[in-house]
Amino acid sequence: MRALLGLLAAALATFAGSARADFDYQLEARELAAGVFVVEGSTEHFTFENGGNIVNIGFIVGDDGVLVIDTGPSRLYGEQLRALIERTTDKPIVRVINSHHHPDHFFGNQAFADLPIAALPQTIAAMQAEAGGFADNLYRIVGNAMFGTEVVMPGETLAAGDIRLGQRRIELIALSGHSVADLVLLDHPSGVLFASDMVYYQRAATTPHANPEDWLQSLDRLEGLDFDILVPGHGPLGDAAAIAQTRDYLQWLTAHLDAAAARGADMAELMYAPLPERFANLGAMPAEYMRSVTHLYPRYEERYLPQAAVAEVQ
Amino acid sequence: MIRAALLLLALFGGTAGAGELFNERGLRADRYRAPLPDSVPHGQRVDAGRARALIAEKDLLLIDVQAITVRPELADLGITFLPNKPRLHIPGSHWLPNVGYGELDETMDGYFRGNLARLTGGDFTRPMLFYCVADCWMSWNAVQRAHHYGYRQLYWLADGTEAWAAAGFELVEGQPLPLEPH
């Protein structure tokens, strides 16, 4: 009885101290193929209302355990994801993988801190460098859905190649270009490709750490893979058309920025340039395009600046 | 216990590359939004229910330290703080933005010290409650800074207005106390 009262008191204390600890992401798991699930987020930017749930998370159920692909933007998301997985299957979670270092893909790690969490080594280094700033930003934008979120780093490093989940062969493909290191997973039994943020579908690509040339080369490799269903990092399920859309946008964006720099356009003018119709209605547009101008345009300006400066002197 | 473990994580995990989390005076100096410790040096942590009881029992000064954009260069125009959205806080509070940063310049230090002196009439035993929002370390800093100024009855409402609202208590729109030009 006394123990029970103690528990009750502890529960009440937790409740009294919990500010918006009740934020409900309303996560749902959708089974794409036997044992392969996706938890789909919105195509918006981070907002107070969506609690940062703008991301697609996956999990794969093998014979004797579950592999989780990314963990969402906050502690609460991670906890609700774990509860969802535990409702969906009675197999234990055996491993968590973070596809890359952006916060919406790993700030839920806290809910899996008792399990092996793994990522590519360059991803872990980038997380260590940037996690604090990401946390500050997410608190600012998303607010209290972030409540109690503390960064938990992956404790294991991954390398490209095949891993086994029971009988399942899962291929890990190490790419880059969206960020310093982007991990893609291909589940061979089902043909489901978890493309991480290499692919955005019906949602504008984000570019704060992008190298567009590397990214386009990585898309070449993705197109060469044999898959049936593609899960993009952001946006609805797709197929090869999702890769083509990401490629189309990156090619347009880079050519557009290059041409603007060549004619000496200033950044403010460029930010308000009208978007081609095929991109204007992508999720998070035009805000994402404007952010990309601020991320990428200075590099294009630099390409032309020396010549312009020389011409001015002459 | 969990909080202590999280604090350790905050201290040793995932923050490499950022500035130092705590300065030499023990004040939080970076990452001001993060899970909070169970206690604050020189102050007493209270929950919303206890805070409300204290307001009823004592002549408690309520100090909101929620940070906002400050524009000292506009001080001559009388525009110093620029809230970008309405701030809802505990009724009867005095809002002193930005006094919970790890470092204060002379202007902000004078603003905090001077307003506390004015509000207490120089009574160092006047009870005060400091707060901001959930997972906000600025109130934790403000308690310790007030102790440094000489105040001795200090309370800390961790998780601030979110804890207050979660307990079902009323919030009202606040205005920051102006930063007087020097």
The class that CATH gives domain A15-239 is alpha beta
Kindly report, residue by residue over A43-98, the tens digit of the pLDDT. Answer: 999 998 999 999 999 999 999 999 999 999 999 999 999 999 999 999 999 999 99
Among A218-222, A297-301, B175-179, which stretch is predicted with the lowest mean pLDDT?
B175-179
Residue B98 placed within a domain:
yes
Residue B126: give its domain's CATH number. 3.40.250.10
Cα separation, B86 vs B20, in Å, equals 31
The answer to whether the Cβ–Cβ distance between B163 and A16 falls below 8 Å is yes
- Summary mean pLDDT of chain B: 87
C-alpha angle A79-B88-B54 in degrees, rounded to nearest 5:
90
Domain count, chain B: 1
Q: What value of ipTM does the predicted structure carry? A: 0.75
Residue B154 lies in a domain: yes
Asked whether the beta carbons of residue A132 and residue B133 sit closer than 8 angstroms, the reply is: no
- The answer to whether the beta carbons of residues B31 and A132 sit under 8 Å apart is yes
Q: How is residue B94 written in tokens?
A: 């005095």
A46 within 8 A of A53, measured Cβ to Cβ: no
Residues of chain B found within 8 Å of residue A98, distances taken between Cβ atoms: none
Closest CA in chain A for residue B50: A16
**How much is the average pLDDT of A187-200?**
98
- Rounded to the nearest angstrom, the minimum Cα separation between A104 and chain B is 15
Mean predicted confidence (pLDDT) in B117-143 = 97
Closest to B47 (Cβ–Cβ): which among A17, A136, A147? A17
Chain A residues with CB under 8 Å of B39 CB are none
Residue B7 pLDDT class (50, 70, 90 cuts): very low
Would you say residue A285 has pLDDT above 90? yes
Do B49 and B167 touch, CB atoms closer than 8 A? yes
Domain that holds residue B88: 37-174
Partners of A148 on chain B (C-beta within 8 Å) are 6, 35, 135
- Band of residue A305 on the pLDDT scale cut at 50, 70, 90: confident
* Residues A295/A211, Cβ–Cβ less than 8 Å: no
CB contact under 8 A, A146 and B135: yes
Q: Where are the alpha helices (DSSP H) in A264-286?
A: 267-271, 277-280
Instruction: Quote the pLDDT of residue B15.
Output: 39
Q: Find the chain A residues whose C-beta atoms sit closer than 8 A to any C-beta of B.
A: 13, 16-21, 127-133, 135-136, 139-140, 144, 146-153
| Residue B107 is assigned to a structural domain of this protein | yes
Which residues of chain B approach chain A closer than 8 Å at the C-beta? 6, 9-10, 13-18, 30-35, 47-49, 133-135, 158-160, 162-163, 165-167
Enumerate residues 6+ apart whose C-beta is below 8 A from A100: A119, A120, A123, A126, A178, A179, A180, A181, A182, A183, A196, A197
Does B163 map to a domain?
yes
Q: Does residue A9 register a pLDDT over 50? A: no
Average pLDDT over residues A24-52: 96
pLDDT digit string (tens) for B14-53?
333 446 899 999 999 999 999 999 999 999 999 999 999 9
Dihedral sign of CA atoms A68, A71, A72, A74 in order: positive
Q: Please judge whether A136 and B9 are an interchain contact, meaning their C-beta atoms are less than 8 angstroms apart.
A: no
Measured between CA atoms, the residue of chain A closest to residue B67 is: A140
